[in-house]
Amino acid sequence: MAQTSGWRGDEFAKLSAVGAASGLTKAAEFLRGQSVPLVPVDRGDLEDSASVQPATVSDLEATVSYDTPYAVIQHERLDFHHSEGQAKYLEGPLEENRGTLQELIATEVRRATGG
């Protein structure tokens, strides 16, 4: 007797999206945690403004942001000298942890899809 199974591509796609949203959010939280110690500190406003916008199944994009009027300037200006912190406080950890971030996402997709 032959055994057959139905195609469950739609179900797998939905589970993959759930896992991807979870993984993206976990990766963004990890990145936030890696970047906060590198933020230039004057009064702590920039450091305190760090936040993560989580990914959703319908919007598979998580965002790490720093919300002060000078966040971009502090991030981009390599000629600024900081007694505490550094420029590229978000970009550096992103590049340095690329593999870890990818693995966090992949792990959640595998978990969600039973893989």
pLDDT digits (tens, 9 = 90+) for 14-46: 999 999 999 999 999 999 999 999 999 988 899
Q: Which secondary-structure segment (H or E) carries 27?
A: helix 9-35
Indicate the pLDDT class of residue 64, thresholds 50, 70 and 90: very high
Over range 50-73, report the average pLDDT.
Answer: 97
> Rounded to whole angstroms, how far apart are CA atoms 58 and 98?
24
Residue 11 has pLDDT above 60, yes or no: yes
Residue 4 lies in a domain: no
Residue 17 lies in a domain: yes
Residue 3 lies in a domain: no
User: What is the per-residue DSSP string for 65-102?
Assistant: EE-STTHHHHHH-TT---SS--SSTTHHHHHHTHHHHH
Indicate the pLDDT class of residue 80, thresholds 50, 70 and 90: very high
Residue 14 lies in a domain: yes
pLDDT at 2: 59
What domain count does the chain have?
1
Residue 89 has pLDDT above 60, yes or no: yes
pLDDT at 42: 83
Residue 27 lies in a domain: yes
Residue 1 lies in a domain: no
Residue 94 lies in a domain: yes
Residue 67 lies in a domain: yes
Please state the pTM of the whole predicted model.
Answer: 0.90
Show the domain range for 49.
Answer: 9-113
